[in-house]
Amino acid sequence: MAIRRIVTQGDDRLHKKCREVTEFNQRLHVLLDDMKETLEEAQGVGLAAPQVGVLRRAVVIVDDDDQMLELVNPEIIASSGEKAAPEGCLSVPGKWGLVARPFFARVRAQDRFGNWFETEGEDLMARCFCHEIEHLDGHLYVEHIDHFMTDDEVEAFYEEEEAREKRGK
């Protein structure tokens, strides 16, 4: 396994539509293993293949149980609700923007051997599914925002969310 360099905003490869994975071979397995190691080292929650310069439809995500989930040729098959929250991206380091995403999303994808499966998630997971799958179509979250959040805005958001959760209990 090897840590790959994460390409950042401005790199052409982040703006291309990625091709479907059709061969579930050793080359794909090495890519997924490297992506997982790269994501872990960067301490992110999701990484798409174009972020390491590979224009293929593959994504790795850290799920709610801290397990790495591999999604090959993923697509959103159902979503509902909406939540706006600060969102960041390893290809746009150190920045945050407020993005509205579905609160719930269900995804269909293939594993590294080509077997289809479905998975779903709420809140951060749903946000992550949407964010990473957008990468595969050459889009970055910054297209959804009108400004980057200041540290104060990010802090205020989480304070408010915490207060909201306390009120809810």
Residue 99 contacts Zn ion per CB under 5 A: no
Q: Which helix (H) or strand (E) holds 3?
A: none
- Residue (of 116, 108, 129, 118) closest to 64 by Cα position: 129
Q: Nearer Cβ to Zn ion, position 89 or 136? A: 89
**Of 50, 61, 55, 68, the residue nearest 20 (C-alpha):** 55
Identify which range of 37-45, 83-91, 111-119, 154-162 contacts Zn ion by CB under 5 A.
83-91
Closest CA to 110 of 145, 141, 69: 69
Q: Is 132 a catalytic residue?
A: yes
Shortest distance, position 8 Cβ to Zn ion, whole Å: 10
CB-side neighbour CA atoms (13 Å) of 80: 2
Among 89, 98, 105, 125, binds Zn ion (CB under 5 A): 89
Cβ nearer to Zn ion, comparing 37 with 114: 37
Annotated catalytic residue: which of 132, 159, 160, 162?
132
Helix (H) or strand (E) holding 58, with range, is strand 58-62
Our measurement of the distance from residue 44's CA atom to the centroid of its chain's CA atoms, rounded to an integer in Å, reads: 9
The CB-of-128 to Zn ion minimum distance in angstroms stands at 9
Q: Which is nearer to Zn ion, 104 or 141 (CB)?
A: 141
Distance CA(161)–CA(30), nearest Å, equals 39
Kindly state the tokens that stand for 153.
Answer: 């805005």
Nearest approach in angstroms of CB 3 to Zn ion is 17
Q: In this chain, which stretch among 7-15, 30-38, 64-72, 81-89 interacts with Zn ion, using CB under 5 A?
A: 81-89
* Closest separation in Å from C-beta 48 to Zn ion: 7
Q: 22 vs 2, 17, 65, 135, CA distance in Å?
A: 23, 15, 29, 19
The residue whose Cβ lies closest to Zn ion is 89
Q: Which of residues 51-80 bind Zn ion (CB under 5 A)?
A: none
Active-site positions? 132
Q: Which residues contact Zn ion by CB under 5 A?
A: 89
